[in-house]
Amino acid sequence: MHDGLVILDGGVEGFPSTEGCIRVLRDLLAEWRGPVEFVTLREKKIAFCTGCFGCWIKTPGMCVLRDDSEAITRAASAAEWMLLLTPVVCGGYSSVLKRQLDRMIGINLPFFMQKEGETHHVPRFARYPSWMVVGLQAERDEEESAIFEELVQRNALNVHAPKTMVRVFGGGDRGEAVRDGLQEMLRKGGVMS
């Protein structure tokens, strides 16, 4: 059964901190009765993907490397929603978040299909989590934000996310604006009423 929310905290040193958003999310979700799991990725042991394709042709569906990534992948794949929280790095994700995402390609099959006029991988499972993605910028930057949103949409297409929401908070967004934005996102996702 697909249930609950898994939050992947991709905070990394030297870039806008995710700690404030995590505090707000914990507060907003305190009353929620569904399962929620917070994963601080920088504290986990997650090796770089080696590109061996073992997750397709040796241990189909799971990475051959055995570390913390396995449990995270399993939990995220079983959730109804996955929330990715990351500083925006040149329009992309943090390396910490990317390590985990790279290790999850086994959730698709190696085979191909056409989707929106392009080649993509065939889904492995009958259901996938929907995506909420929150990006943090030191200062509001529309060009970088547009690249980030494009990346999220492309990823969501590849991982067959039924629904996708993406929100970028810039340096000028503080306190209540961030709280309101996150609350709106959770409400739209049906996680909060």
Partner 1 sequence: MDRLASAGWLCDELNLPKVLREGREPDALDRLVASADLVVLSFPLYVDTAPAAVTAWMERVIRNRRRASGGGRPISFLMIVNSGFPEARHNETVLAIGRRFARDAGWEWLGGVAVPGGGALNGRAILPHGMTRNLCLALNEVADAVREGRMIPESAKVRLARPVVPRRLYLLIATMGWYRRAWHNGVGRLLRRAVLPGVQ
Residues of this chain that interact with partner 1 (CB under 8 A) are: 1-2, 12-15, 47-51, 53, 56-62, 74-75, 77-78, 89-96, 98-99, 101-102, 104-105, 109-112, 118-120, 124-127, 143-144, 147, 150-151, 154-155, 158
According to DSSP, the residues that pair with 86 across neighbouring strands are: 135
171 or 187: whose CB is closer to partner 1? 171
Residue closer to partner 1, measured from CB, 124 or 179:
124
Say which residue the tokens 């929280």 belong to. Answer: 85
Distances (CA, A) of 7 to 38, 54, 63, 163: 5, 26, 21, 16
Strand-pair category, 164-169 with 108-115 = unpaired
CB of 102 to partner 1, least distance (A): 5
**Could you write out the three-class secondary structure of 17-39?**
CCHHHHHHHHHHCCCCCCCEEEE
How buried is 56 (Cβ within 10 angstroms: 0-12 exposed, 13-18 middle, 19+ buried)?
Answer: middle
Alpha-carbon Rg for the chain, nearest whole angstrom, is 16
CB of residue 176 to partner 1, shortest distance in Å = 29
Q: How far is the CB of 90 from partner 1 (least distance, A)?
A: 4
Cβ proximity to partner 1: between 118 and 176 the closer is 118
Q: How far is the CB of 1 from partner 1 (least distance, A)?
A: 7
Q: Whose Cβ is closer to partner 1: residue 55's or residue 182's?
A: 55
Question: With contact defined as beta carbons under 8 Å apart, do 130 and 161 qualify?
Answer: yes
Which of 147/192 has CB closer to partner 1? 147
CB of 57 to partner 1, least distance (A): 4
